Structure 1
């Protein structure tokens, strides 16, 4: 018998929701066959079979499950599964499973008490727009419609509490320092327009900054390192850059893997695809995992400086502020308008020292102010 154990899919979550089984109980499955769809707070992910045999699921659609939990067995034969079903262990594992609500809606066990407490009807729940109704969905629905008693405290939705957990862990465990540089981006913006017209993919400051950050991996690998418990660091072989995106569906940090190897036009295409997924909330968990540095986009008009947190497990985060126009003197002493942004670096001071941080930041500034080095074609 092979146990199918649920892996950790998202560092922000302590529980997930089983959305649907892709194979039926009692059917034969093969190794690496997709078996089940699991939903985290950010994405849906298919879990594959670790081997071949006869499937027996232990968790029904709509039920919460946690990392490390055994959600199914794969038996060598149908006879072995039948013997398991006859055992008292099988009866105990079936106890307490959540059943689907009427008309195809699935309400998780965590969500059910809140639904009942507020008397939410099926019609109200359908306004959520999900097949599986989780506690976070009910909380968000109640937040939109307003609490029954305005004098009562309002519980934060689950996704916001997950963010709070990560922020608290970062502030508790990482002694972070920050530094900023002002960057003239007129030439970078001109290059972005040129690449966009040449290849069709939209390229702007975020894409060029990701490329500039990735270029630092070869010469300053510590900025991409993971600090280990014994005080040593693990240096990754490639720059896997996470890029923050929030288009009204929550904060996502999809990962641009081996960013240094991608052409500028490829970066434009990939980040555009990620923006569409952020808008739809359709990321796969694998697209959000294992970044070793982050670029935090705070480039909304009027935002000048931002100091994001360093994610646990990473050493650095680079921030991009909004574009502002300033009058400066040209070589002849005449005032001219130039566009600038502030680039920030927040870093784990246990791994990176201030002098090296300044070198890193000034290298980003140099690349963006003389951006021809960033204009690479798709490989």
Structure 2
């Protein structure tokens, strides 16, 4: 497997476009994107666990479950189309109908996604005009894919995309993806939209299983602020244009596919955690020596969602007591008097506690390590061989500023 440049247009047969539809933003910035495959795709999807589900989530779940194939995705930024009732759901249908007419594909092959302010109705005339404009300029270039990744941003500060290639089934297979996500992010799907495309030939059943299992260790292991969104969506489209022998069983080709998919999803997940609203650092928490994977997952998630720990990371303060405290209220059992804790970054690695007791470490060295843009805390609980990694970010003054006036 090798990483290549690009995103959703990296795989064969995929095109993208973007446009400034004027949905909410007044600075003429692109706020709509479209992904299109030259041929029909097998589609898989995972969605928010929030009981309050946005209209696009409901629409996409039906398409992924019931439609024979998908071929296009229409995305808008600025308005989430959540808590909008029957009118909001009808706008999903109208968006799909517009794409169907412009692209000459079935209406039930069009997926839709929205991100932005909850409770506002979409300006459907601008949405359909945007669909028409994008349909005319679809392009398979890397630049077009990158522009699409930029168009779906809200409070994101950077575009997020990645692509890889690997050999399987007698062909070169490519997987690429783009996502957005910066705030209202919490495990069990976060306020994020992620779109992954591949030219692999793979059965719909295995495609869905691969995605469903992989999000457990990727998107579901990130948190920015503890808020699970109404719009979280991950869509995976496979058009088979690589020409590989179709993957229909869990053989070596399938293992290669899920390895590449994991790289895509983990990379995108970390990009979102590292771009948390107002943040200055990606905060990674590794729990090792756990008795079970579930125990390690619970402990790591508890630490990355601790506001006190996140604030300490922002202050470059090795306040290890907050980490042990967060582990202690997680609900997972462990012996705090056996825990070893380390901080690590590009500036070095430092053991802070051994068997639950502080070591004589240098505060200056600890501050230097914690001042890097990527910081890791490693907790060894000495109970077994299981492990888990979660990703979050520091909590800064700017997080409050951004969210205090988000609607305006």
TM > 0.5 fold call: no
Task: Return the TM-score normalized by structure 2.
Answer: 0.26
Query: Which structure has the larger Rg?
Result: 1
Task: Return the TM-score normalized by structure 1.
Answer: 0.27
